[in-house]
A and B are shown apart, each in its own frame.
Chain A
Amino acid sequence: MSSFELPLWARLRVRENQIFLLLTILISVLAGLAAVLFTLAIKGTTRVLFGTSPTAARYILVPTVVSFFTGFLLKRFFPDARGSGVPQTEAAYHLQQGVIPGRTAFGKFVTGALCIGCGHSMGREGPSVQVGAGIASSIGRWFHLSPARVQSLVPVASAAALSAAFNTPVAAVLFALEEIVGDMNAALIGSTVLASVTAVVVERSILGNNPIFHVPAYQLVHPAELIVYAALGILGGIVSLAFSKGLLRLRAFFLRLPKWSTLFQPAIGGVIIGIILIFFPQVLGVGYEYVDQALNNELLLKTMIVLCGMKLVATIISYASGNAGGIFSPSLYLGAMAGGAVGIVVHRFAPFPVANSGAYALVGMGTTFAGIIRAPMTSVFMIFELTQDYQIVVPLMIANMISFAISKRFQPVALYHALLHQDHVYLPDLRTRMPAIWRARDIMLPSTALIPPDTTIAEACKIVASQDESAFMLGRDGLSSGIVTRARMEEAMRTGLASAPLYRISTDDYLYLYPDQPLDLVIERLGRSPGVLPVVSRRDIHLVEGVITSQRLFQFLQTNLKDSTVATEAVTTTSEQDIREKPAA
């Protein structure tokens, strides 16, 4: 039977399967080319803006003026292009079914190249991932693929972009699965591997097969070195924590500033970066040449300590002030400097023979990557891929796991997710992503009337008099600002607060759910709530999509359990009929 004789839905599915493979290859090529172009654009921008021997005035003027311009672009045209791009890609994958507007991808490319090229201490890998994913998403939608297919193109393109940007195809696959999808057992392994390999072939055919770092041969000289690597893991964890906490605090500060100031915030960062560049031009941009020097024992102890501190400060300022650029390469830079410094100290004082400082710089890169990015498997494979030396795996795993554990203990939410939380975006956890029959969005009452917070308590009592609920949401234009219980309102009336505004007796500390959370969590949270459980959007925690009350839950279960029993009986009957009919057929 040819595919034309199949029903329409089946034909469409066949068509989608056929197209998907071809699209995977084409998108990987395009994402890889975009990543290579992005790297070239950053280099070209730096060359044009700074020339060969920049003066102090140029160091200050270039980042300030360019950041002001990118600040305008980011505020006016590309608001989703700020920052790394990895958290935004994750959010698009989990919350928007992989939809990333083409404009965002374009904006990220332009603003990212300008921000990093003008001297901001940021990485190119995160933006490459977002640009690649944006291209994939746009193409998927252009081909009218199903939302699930468009969604699955996002990690595929992310792997391709990272593979081309960092020249480590295996680590790119792991990063896409571990960080973007959040599930190493994802069904997308085949496509991501294909994408990663395709992109790296494209990248090498243009740039040549040059490794991103010249890594010296690694060796574990003495077993006692493992203790030193464990200590390096602790240091890596501390540096990761300092970076994560510092970045989140400074970003929170910038976010608290008035909204009109977002236009100028990148330029403020630009001024500070300019001042830093006058004294420490080594922190300019991606900075891989200095990582390379640390790996090859070409830097002094004092230089490495100072560069570690300055890069940490510079990256925090660049990122927190709202510029476009990632934290992937800064995390490697910090680790290389910290590790190299440890290596030199150990080399001088250890009572046993040790490897040169380059080996410690290499492991240090892994520790900060594991501590900041929180992708420990990616980290191990990335360094393994850079060295192509099996000997490094054991010390690397010891150091990475220690750094990861310290970072997780004192900063429970991973940095990418914490950055999303600051934007009121909350990604579903693994439990939420598990298959479930009913979710909060199936149970909730889709619309709810929010009581304006400045309504007097007496008026509010009149509004809710005809309702049965024991608690009510406050807010305006669909955005909640708190919750108030009926009991609290009645008590306020008794104590003579009838004319007081409602927000005085409300609380903004209340339990809520996301639409994709499963039934068991609904029951558990409802039991602890005052009787009303708001269901809020993951993209904006203040946006109320609906509410769940005890009464609504009982109604829903009554209806659906009856339906499911009927359905189950129907299925059973059909199956039995099938079984009975099959021999006859």
Chain B
Amino acid sequence: METQETRRALRTDILRLLALTGCAVALFFVTRAIFARQRSLEIREAARWYEVGESQLREGEIASATRSLRKAIRDDPNNRKYAIRLADALADAGHNTEAIEALSRLRESDPEDASLNLHLARLAAKDNDVSDAIHYYENALYGRWTGGQVDARQRDTRIELIQFLLSQHEHQRALSELLILDGELPQSADAQNQAAELFLEANDLPRAFKHFEQAAHLDPQDVDALTGAGEASFRLGDYRTARHFLEAAVKRGEPDPKTVRDLSVAKTILRSDPFAPHISPAERERRTLSIFDLSLRRLQACAEQHDVDAQLQALRAQAVAIQPKLSPNAVLQNPEMTTTALELVSEMERATNATCGGAQPADDAMLLIARLHGGAE
């Protein structure tokens, strides 16, 4: 009898447990459905606030836009687009710290998101926070990219990092990144030009020249590439190559004054350099005397205007004293005289430039020749 009662009690318990389980399962799905519906409502609401914020931004109402975007984020806190837009709006309004905080919170949930890291890097760069900016740029470079053209966007990010490093005078780190960039560059004149510009800024002249030359090779009509190659070779002291590219650049477009001047200087150097190869001793002697005379005349003209300048007067006296010794025979017999003369040319040009200014391409050329062949800085 008791056994039957117990069995009945157990049966009832089992049925009740099953009913309760059924209730729990049903309630679970009902709750999920309610949550999903509420969530979609919130997302719609967030999108509406985002649109309002966007239009306010277009009208320049940054404070109102910030409020609207905050509401959008309140309703859809995990939406990256909203957070990034809010951060941009805050940054535009000068609230950089708040902008960084808005993005940092989002980053917590996904620290490897490349686009978030990139935005944070830009904000940190704007704040001149070098270590954070570099940290976020690197996170962006090695983070997870979504969407198309990943390689191009990664390359652009690296270029942005290099530009930031150069602006902060971190040339060594910039060069490291440039070398990585070197290996990733596509065969296009624009990309080669961009890399060459960065190498130029980082003072890696040979690599700058290589990329400009490559760009000019890919597009012979590319004036930027021709000008860049000319400038790089000019700074490298290869005036013949410089003349070649600069002449090509001048021929193919509206040349800028610097290009014209550089071309003029290069031509003058090639015409006047006493140490140029394949010239006769007589020609070397002629060139030496010519640039010495030119330089001395300019110094004397300047010294007459500034007769109280003791340094200028002393230099003039020294030059006038040495001039008779620079006879054609003396230069021929004693090649050291050429070097001595060039050193003095260098000093005279610098002193004249410092006191009277108005250096002409020929003056620049003389100074460069003097520097090139032993003229002390």
Contact surface of A with B, Cβ cutoff 8 Å: 4, 8, 11-12, 15, 19, 22-23, 26, 29-30, 33, 36-37, 40, 43-44, 47, 52, 139, 142-143, 202, 206-207, 210, 214, 216, 289, 296-298
Contacts and interface: CB of A to CB of B under 8 A. Distances in A.
Contacts of A142: 16
A43 B38 CA distance: 9
Q: Which 6 A-B pairs have the closest CB atoms?
A: A29-B24, A33-B27, A214-B105, A26-B20, A4-B3, A33-B31
B20 A139 contact: yes
Nearest to B104: A216
B105 A37 contact: no
B259 to A, nearest CB: 53
A239 B101 CA distance: 29
Interface string B49-88: 1000000000000000000000100100100000000000
Contacts of B28: 29, 33, 202, 206
A19 B77 CA distance: 42
A389 to B, nearest CB: 13
A52 B45 contact: yes
Nearest to A34: B27
A360 to B, nearest CB: 16
Interface stretch (B5-13, B192-200, B237-245): B5-13
A430 to B, nearest CB: 35
A210 B108 CA distance: 11
Given A19-B13, A19-B17, 13 more contacts: A15-B9, A23-B20, A26-B17, A29-B28, A30-B23, A30-B27, A37-B27, A40-B35, A44-B34, A52-B45, A52-B49, A206-B32, A214-B105
Contact of B41 (A11, A37, A47): A47
Contacts of B98: 298
Contacts of A298: 98, 101
Given A4-B6, A214-B105, A15 B13 contact: yes
Contact of A26 (B3, B6, B7, B21): B21
B2 interface: yes
Given A22-B17, A143-B13, A214-B108, A40 B38 contact: yes
A105 to B, nearest CB: 14
A200 to B, nearest CB: 14
A8 B5 CA distance: 9
B229 to A, nearest CB: 51
A503 B32 CA distance: 62
B35 A26 contact: no
Contacts, number: 70
A36 B41 CA distance: 17
Contacts of A52: 45, 48-49, 71
Contact of A37 (B5, B23, B24, B34): B34
Chief secondary structure at chain B's binding surface? helix
Contacts of B38: 40, 43-44, 47
Q: Chain B interface residue count: which class?
A: 20 to 34
A562 to B, nearest CB: 37
Nearest to A39: B35
B20 to A, nearest CB: 5
Contacts of B21: 26
28 contacts: A4-B3, A4-B6, A11-B6, A12-B9, A15-B6, A15-B9, A15-B13, A23-B20, A26-B21, A29-B24, A30-B23, A33-B28, A36-B31, A36-B35, A37-B27, A37-B31, A37-B34, A40-B35, A40-B38, A43-B38, A44-B34, A47-B38, A47-B41, A52-B49, A142-B16, A206-B35, A214-B108, A289-B74
B16 A296 contact: no
A143 B16 contact: yes
A186 B334 CA distance: 109
Contacts of A23: 17, 20
Contacts of A214: 105, 108
A8 B24 contact: no
Contacts of A207: 35
Nearest to A18: B13
Contacts of B5: 8
Contacts of A210: 77
Interface in B90-105: 98, 101, 104-105
Contacts of A43: 38
Nearest to B75: A52
B34 A40 contact: yes
A22 B14 CA distance: 11
A8 B27 contact: no
A29 B182 CA distance: 59
Contacts of A139: 20
A15 B10 contact: yes
A15 B3 CA distance: 13
Nearest to B5: A8
A325 B101 CA distance: 33
Contacts of B31: 33, 36-37, 40, 206
Given A33-B27, A296-B105, A8 B20 contact: no
A40 B24 CA distance: 17
Nearest to B23: A30
A295 to B, nearest CB: 10
A23 B71 CA distance: 42
Nearest to A51: B45
B13 A26 contact: no
Nearest to B101: A296
Interface in B314-370: none
A23 B16 CA distance: 10
